[in-house]
Structure 1
Amino acid sequence: MLARHWVARISILTLAHVAGTVPIVSVMAMAPVIQSDLGLSVTEVGLLVSGYYFAQTIGAVPAGGLVDRIGVGRALLTSHVLLIAGALTFSQAESFSGAVTATVVMGFGYSIVNPSTATGILTWFSARRRATAMGVKQTGVPIGGVLAAANGALVTLFSWQSIFVAVACLIFVNGLLCLLLVEPLHRGARPGIAATIRQMLQVGRITNIRVLFFANIPWNMGQTNFYAYLTIFMREAAGASQPVAGLVLGLAQLSSALGRIGWGVVSDTLFRGARKWIIVGLCGVSAVLMLGMAAVEPGIGLWLGVVLAFGLGITIASYPTLAQTLAVESVEPGQSGAALGYSLVGTSIGGVVGPPIFGAVVDYTGDFADGWITTAIFVALGTAMVALMVRERQRVAR
């Protein structure tokens, strides 16, 4: 491995999340324009995001095993190839079917990013600083989101097709950096396929992993619905312009970046490594904020929407850092990829079912408020599940 310093390693891991996030958030940021050009309904816009998470659902567990088998660097290279293919495919989409095919390919690419970077953190950082390191690399998600949110304004100057070609080029450049994380494969350290499958089955029997699997479904319904419909919601419910709606999405991504670092530091220091109750607090507060979205309307209500978007960014869009840390700390180091893969299957399912449920509710009632209320109920149920059933392991320094 050429990247031996911890700064270089965590920088590359962070940039991998940036590369993985930009394509799908660009779809969300430019959703009003794409919706108009392709003639999509609100439900179909949600299904574009569902396709992305459907691929992650299928790919999450195999991706975790892949990382444990071939290493962090090679797995990240694989993910970048798929992300480039997805962005280029979307640039050529002329209908819903072409667009959703592209987001599915993007989803397969990103399904490899999470277990790869989490395994890197678990391997290269001690338990004393693990949540902070996890939070730093997870800032790649909102940083990528901020960059992609800018596309919500750029689409008024350039076609969304051209923007996706540019996105593919940037991902290619970032993929070259991942070469620095490639390590030689040692035959003795490489688990066989049968051993990998047995390891995944063993991880699935751990109570915390199972509970996080089920809780991640409604939690990611909340996060995905928030991001998927924020720009359309701000335009239709709050009367914002396309550039302003894109800026609000960028603000939410920025607050998420602050939260992902901040909550990791708080967990490592003030809470001495405890993760559970911070996660419960974040998701519980987010359910209340979603109920507040029902009050957003044109005029002064636009500013309420801005405040709530910031609050949801620092809560429901910030919880993944600690949830992923809790998952990998619930197993032995050699099982981290498989453990994160299992828990992320729940995350992916939430991303699959959340947007179409939200879209169907809005299409049926004609009111975005009903979509937010429905989402808040689901998030609250997942929060109660973790509060009652998850037990944290005693922290042992590594």
Structure 2
Amino acid sequence: MRPPPTEEVHAMRRRWLMLALGTAAQTAACAFVYGIPYLAAELRDSGHLSLPRIGLLIACPTVGLVAALVAWGALADRHGERIVIATGLGGAGALLAVTAAVTAAGGGTVALGALLFLAGAAAASVYSASGRLVMGWFTARERGLAMGIRQTSTPLGMGVAALTMPPLAAAYGIGGAFGFLATVCALIAAAVAVLAADPARPEAAGAAGAAAEPATNPYRGSSTLWRIHGAGALLVVPQFTAGAFALVLLVDTRGWTAVDAGRLIAVAQVLGAASRIAAGRWSDRVGSRLLPMRQLAVVTAAVVAVAAFTAAFPSPLTAAALVLSVGITASTNGLSFTATAERAGPAWSGRALGVHNTGQNFTAAVVPPLSAAAISATGYWPALAAAAAVACGAAMVVPVDSPRRRAVVSSVP
């Protein structure tokens, strides 16, 4: 007969349950917010929309997200993560159900854009609070891996969307695709409401926690957080240039069907999820989030430059280069989030993550329409080449960790 689990085992199980809930909530939100590109072919064919107009629709959820991120982060700092995630994700599910009904009834582009904006604003709760939930339950030596796993939610959500949106839209129309997203968001919101538990608040963390995590305004007297925010936002450019238009690039230049291209992009998103986990584990081992982030930014620039070359001269290598680009451009996201939360401390992490998310998602909102306009004017390869240049700039913006700071990250329990 096995002995009953110890208190340490119970604590470990609870930590991993919180990680699973935070990751699931973020995956559902990402499947919606970043899933619209995978409806691009259906929107173009059924609605007779131009690529720039589709780019504006793709941006609507992200614009809503940006508008609400800091407010949701402040609510998470004040009231806790569970209620914020459950309320926001549940609201997003309800709005997506309305979107499905309006779309099925033949609603116009303006109505669709407005509903996507509101649903994105509701989903912002997950972006601001799920990171706090994970950071609060894991120690410094586990956070890189834990946040790397949590940040797999973006490529996993995009992978779910790539795999499901084209066939659902083909079979049931765009309204059917939104109905699926509404159901997923509602179910996970209910799970969070029932099962999630907020980590200890800063006031209860004790003197040791207060010493390790600053309670004063982390933006005063240092540019480090702003540089992390800036580098994270710049690295969104190659990620969303490759991710948003890889499907239509394969359709236009290689003659693939939208369903087949979606399946390949889903594979690429799995690679992106794996790259985030590996990057997080690497950062735990070296005691730094910023050193791997800078090196991966350089790798991103090189890989996207290769994708630009294969887009200029289409061949069977084009698909492989796009898969690698979509996977590698996702690798740095968890590092920038972990660095932001650690520098801000528990009393400020909700707001700091809100600011970080605002910069990243503002960039994500403007990249699709700008890239779509550039692609329409000049073709796919110049847009990818520009994205590679931006990744080079991001590598220079990432701040340098001092040896003392690396020692702190490695030693704090």
TM-score (structure 2 length as normaliser): 0.85
Runs (5+) with no aligned partner, structure 2:
1-10, 205-213
2:316 aligned counterpart, secondary structure = helix
1:165 aligned counterpart, secondary structure = helix
C-alpha distance after superposition, 1:208-257 (max 9, x if no partner): 22112222332112222222212111111222111121012201211111
What's 1:322 paired with?
A: 335
1:184–1:23 Cα change, 3 Å: closer
Comparing 276-285 with 305-314, which one deviates more in the overlay? 305-314
Q: CA RMSD in A?
A: 2.7
Distance (Å, rounded) in 2 between the aligned partners of 1:295 and 1:154: 33
Structure of higher CA gyration radius: 2
What's 1:54 paired with?
A: 63
Post-superposition shift, 1:4?
Answer: 7.0
1:90–1:292 Cα change, 3 Å: farther
1:334 aligned counterpart, secondary structure = coil
Distance (Å, rounded) in 1 between the aligned partners of 2:49 and 2:258: 17
Post-superposition shift, 1:200?
Answer: 11
Distance (Å, rounded) in 1 between the aligned partners of 2:113 and 2:294: 33
2:123 aligned counterpart, secondary structure = helix
1:158 aligned counterpart, secondary structure = helix
Runs (5+) with no aligned partner, structure 1:
190-198
Distance (Å, rounded) in 2 between the aligned partners of 1:127 and 1:230: 36
For 2:167, give the aligned amino acid. Answer: A
Post-superposition shift, 1:327?
Answer: 0.6
Comparing 86-95 with 38-47, which one deviates more in the overlay? 86-95
| 1:244 and 2:271 aligned | no
C-alpha distance after superposition, 1:280-334 (max 9, x if no partner): 1222222222222233369x94532332233223321121111100111112222
1:3–1:106 Cα change, 3 Å: farther
User: Which of 307, 311, 322 is matched with 2:324 structurally?
Assistant: 311
What's 1:281 paired with?
A: 295
Distance (Å, rounded) in 1 between the aligned partners of 2:38 and 2:237: 18
What's 1:176 paired with?
A: 190
Distance (Å, rounded) in 2 between the aligned partners of 1:237 and 1:316: 22
Distance (Å, rounded) in 2 between the aligned partners of 1:200 and 1:64: 16
For 1:69, give the aligned amino acid. Answer: R
Distance (Å, rounded) in 2 between the aligned partners of 1:79 and 1:52: 14
Comparing 9-18 with 134-143, which one deviates more in the overlay? 134-143
For 1:207, give the aligned amino acid. Answer: S
> Are 1:200 and 1:338, in contact at CA under 8 Å, matched by a contact in 2?
no
Q: How many residues align?
A: 381
> Are 1:49 and 1:355, in contact at CA under 8 Å, matched by a contact in 2?
yes
For 1:371, give the aligned amino acid. Answer: A
Distance (Å, rounded) in 2 between the aligned partners of 1:88 and 1:313: 29
| 1:359 and 2:372 aligned | yes
Post-superposition shift, 1:201?
Answer: 10
What's 1:195 paired with?
A: none
What's 1:397 paired with?
A: 412
Distance (Å, rounded) in 1 between the aligned partners of 2:321 and 2:343: 33
> Are 2:239 and 2:329, in contact at CA under 8 Å, matched by a contact in 1?
yes
